Amino acid sequence: MDWSFFTEVLVGGLLSGVMYSLVAIGFVLIYKTSGVLNFAQGALLLFAALTFVSLTERGLPFWAGIALTLAAMTAIGALIERTVLRPLVNQPPITLFMATLGVSYVIEGAAQLLWGTQVHGLDLGIDDLPLEIGGVLISTFDLFAAAVAGAMVAGLTLFFRYTRIGLGFRAVADDPLAALAVGLSLDRIWTAVWTASGVVALVAGLLWGARLGVQFSLSLVVLKALPVLVLGGFDSIAGAIVGGLIVGAVEKLAEVYAGPLVGGGIEGWIAYVAALGFLLIRPAGLFGAKPVERV
């Protein structure tokens, strides 16, 4: 056994997992407060990255591009909440899920309509040259992405614990009726949470865009987030991080060590096998809240 190579695969997998977590966090934010599995998160990510890169290619400075894209994501988040989800309040979860599926197609179409179909490069100014630490190659870009993800989780944790609106999020997540009874505005909070999800989509979109190029396939990264959510729980940010790390590591180790035994190409589905197996043992995921119903 070449332990140096094993470590390299493991570290590479963990860092890839952080990228999956970035997408999963967007799902968690919406699910935590409104119980909706937002399938449009991938399309939001595509729209954010495409808007940013199109604006900067037209000569807008980096930070102005960020600001304008943030404004666009805020507007889209508010629009989705106002025009799609609010009228569907109290409908079964599957109806809301299907609505977000529809929203996903609309956003993808609108993104291409507005900004065109061309593939764009996105340079965030971080060289992706390999860094050798103890004989193990580590991607500098992946390290940067991990740092961004860490900062985002820390920021979200502080936001949920210490800000008025963050506490409002938690109150709505715990019991929407009780939150309503104490005077919290559900509409305002849901609009805010969709906006926050748009911000997460922008961060994830920039990092994934720099990795893959800004192109339609960005919306497919949601497929990487789903097993992460199953493993970590749909309503836990910490779960999204831990789930991402597990999925990343399992994928890479399985592909490298088990893949050759079965002809390779198992990376695409092995994470789902792990997630399914986990579902059988712990249906709410590692950190997900166990549903309790009074009968």
| Residues near other proteins, by CB under 8 A | 2, 5, 8-9, 12-13, 16, 58, 109, 112-114, 116-123, 128-130, 137, 139, 141-142, 211-217, 220-221, 224, 251-252, 255-256, 259, 263-269
Sequence length of the chain is 295
CA dist list (Å): 93 to 11, 39, 110, 205, 294: 37, 12, 25, 27, 19
Spatial contact of 9 and 252, defined as CB atoms under 8 Å apart = yes
Nearer to other proteins, 75 or 178 (CB): 75
Burial class (CB in 10 A: 0-12, 13-18, 19+), 238: middle
Task: State in angstroms the smallest separation of the CB of 75 from other proteins.
Answer: 17
The dihedral sign for the CA sequence 34, 38, 43, 45: positive
Query: How many angstroms separate the first and last alpha carbons of the chain?
Result: 55
Buried b / exposed e across 277-293, counting CB within 10 Å, b at 16+? ebeeeeebbbbbeeeee
Nearer to other proteins, 159 or 272 (CB): 272
Task: State in angstroms the smallest separation of the CB of 111 from other proteins.
Answer: 10
Q: Which two tokens stand for residue 137?
A: 């190659």
Task: State in angstroms the smallest separation of the CB of 117 from other proteins.
Answer: 3
Task: State in angstroms the smallest separation of the CB of 41 from other proteins.
Answer: 16
Nearer to other proteins, 93 or 260 (CB): 260
Nearer to other proteins, 26 or 176 (CB): 26
Spatial contact of 77 and 178, defined as CB atoms under 8 Å apart = no
Task: State in angstroms the smallest separation of the CB of 221 from other proteins.
Answer: 7
Nearer to other proteins, 97 or 105 (CB): 105
Task: State in angstroms the smallest separation of the CB of 204 from other proteins.
Answer: 13
Nearer to other proteins, 74 or 215 (CB): 215
Tell me the DSSP string of 51-97: HHHHHHHTT--HHHHHHHHHHHHHHHHHHHIIIIIGGGTTS-HHHHH
Separation CA 77–CA 9 (nearest Å): 38
Burial class (CB in 10 A: 0-12, 13-18, 19+), 138: middle
Nearest to 101 by CA among 50, 39, 161, 186: 39
Nearer to other proteins, 123 or 187 (CB): 123
Cβ count near 162 (within 10 Å): 9
Nearer to other proteins, 33 or 219 (CB): 219
Task: State in angstroms the smallest separation of the CB of 68 from other proteins.
Answer: 12
Task: State in angstroms the smallest separation of the CB of 169 from other proteins.
Answer: 31
